[in-house]
Structure 1
């Protein structure tokens, strides 16, 4: 799970994660990635999301 791997990021705030996902796909994330994004996103998308959340 991302929270376990990156405890310094605020994954407890779902709004923070949702904004990151929206920015990642340049749209409302759930129109392009099925729910749960952890399960349905690619490894590349997850890597890019982490970069976005850390910047």
Structure 2
């Protein structure tokens, strides 16, 4: 996701991109916290990884 985030940084202001990535991470965290099954937990972890990948 680092090459994608470099491309996004040239298109979107860095602050807005960072806030969006943190919001995605937060959504993934909430999904993990409320996960009733293991599959939902894995989906939450995937969403968290997408958010963190953009911030790197």
Question: TM-score, normalising length from structure 1?
Answer: 0.30
Bigger fraction of residues in helix: 2
The structure whose Rg is larger is 2
The two structures have a TM-score, normalised by structure 2, of 0.30
